[in-house]
A and B are shown apart, each in its own frame.
Chain A
Amino acid sequence: MYFVVAGAGEVGFHLSQALLEAGHEVTVIEADRRRANFVQEKLGSIVMNAPADEGRAQMEAGCSRADALIAVTGDDAKNLVICQLAKIRCRTPRVIARVNNPKNEIVFKTLGIDETISSTRVLMNVIEQELPSGGFMPLMSLAGSANELIEAEIAIGTPPAGKTVSSLRLPSGAMVGGIIRKGKLMHADDETKLEIGDRIMVFSPTASESEVRKALFG
């Protein structure tokens, strides 16, 4: 596959290297000449020294034949515009934006950039999975919509313990997809009673995440 990586900072550099090692074709666009030279020395002549947020640079980098563009600069507004320009002007079929401020994930989705990666959120998920209580984990965002899948553990003293699914005060648009009880996946309907230790799977609009948290933990 052919990838265009916009921004050759730490993330862009290592991402390009990993993509090359996996056998893909890569062009990385970097505006800073010294950084571009440095990356060229390490990775070979796959670097273009140009501003990735300008249409001409994207054309030259071959965004119109690329399978995907990944914008990984440290500036959220720049990543948004890079992705939008590639999508509109070059019709790049897949654009992925790095989001530095996790609050911007929902903003990007509203503005038409569905695929975002927030390093803050990834780290938080890893940390939360390591915590003994299990707690509340947004597992993944669902491609093509502003929804996500959340996993949460029903703990002692929380509002849902011993209650039915229908009594959960979930925000509108959110639904329970299933329950993992003692390692087994179970179907959940309105009458299913939640037990302590159950792990509940909730599909929810990303914007309502905090309301889901409130419904499950009070």
Chain B
Amino acid sequence: MLTAKEIRETNRMIEENNLDVRTITMGISLRDCSHPDLDTFCANIYEKITHTARNLVRTGEDIEREYGVPIINKRISVTPIAIVAEACKTDNYVKIAETLDRAADAVGINFLGGFSALVEKGYTPGDRRLIESLPEALARTNKVCASVNIASVRAGINMDAVRHMGEIIKKIAERTADRDAIGCAKLVVFANAVQDNPFMAGAFHGVSEPECVINVGVSGPGVVKTALEQCRGADFGVVSETIKRTAFKITRVGQLVAQEASRRLGVQFGIVDLSLAPTPAVGDSVAHILEEMGLEKCGAPGTIAALALLNDAVKKGGVMASSYVGGLSGAFIPVSEDAGMIDAVECGALSLEKLEAMTCVCSVGLDMIAVPGDTTAATIAAIIADEAAIGVINNKTTAVRIIPVPGKAVGDHVEFGGLLGHSPILKVNSFSAVDFIARGGRIPAPIRSLTN
């Protein structure tokens, strides 16, 4: 029999520490929608998405109500559009993005990911059309998220694509300058992108995934921080055990929700993603966990060690709590979406370079980084190349979601709103990488032995 103490503990996590299920993401294959005629293709994908996901939001809300745990987002990921639209006889994919946006509105979700291309080894014509369509597509849609994979352990780093993405990010920023370059917040440039990630903006439904699948992302930085408050001054063995126990409990809720959603929707259960995903809300910050461990501010010396411990302990605790774990699974460190990260940047404790180093030991990469509007395309490309190199050499997923905000400089502030939060403009190293980026070609795949 459950005890009152256990029941109170769970409800306290939900009510006071922001425990929630961050997202139920339905992955939908669009492979059967291909058609040479653009209008027919758009009709096919609209029909497929709105039919397959017709009960997604209602089911999520039912589970939320019955169990009393908030499920913040219901989302959809689709097969990378560059692949399924390849056969379309058209020179751009903006209309496809608009169709995806309408489908997302029709089923009531808040984001749809998969306006994506995988170009780590080179482009097909479809890949090029998709990437060239990004500025207009992201300016004209609200819910469509895009991603481009430019590197992998097995292919190396496509430096032509890296250069191209630097230019495209600048164009997106200019095209959405009236909204502080919000278009850039909906684009992730990946190395080693995963096929089953439920989190936006980088979610897509990989080509080796089944017809339809349910992936769930849990959250709960506030719960981990509160647990650590109970063991101030204790050694790192105790810290690690406390995080593991907390991650186990959080993940069990994610597993329950994933199984229920899968059963009720009649859709295969894919994975639970163990990521600690912060929000701008007070008490929901990854940076504050690191500070609870004894750092004056996130970014201080010791930050990498603290983050490494956190990331590892979350995985160790979470893996046993779920039958299938996947996605990005690690601590996210988005700057504008984390109250503690924002504070740390504002007081000068946290820099772009320290964030880069942090990405070596945690999930994903440089996420939601607002930089001066005059940052050049070559510099953005070089930042992407650095981050891709970290991923490729260390056999992990890394990514860049960077926003060069037109008209803004260091000392200014940018407001994205909602879950995307707000951020001070981060300083970027002003020395040039123009000649480096101009070379193009591909950095070969790395050797996987002699690993020093």
* A in complex with B: no
Contacts from A to B (Cβ < 8 Å): none
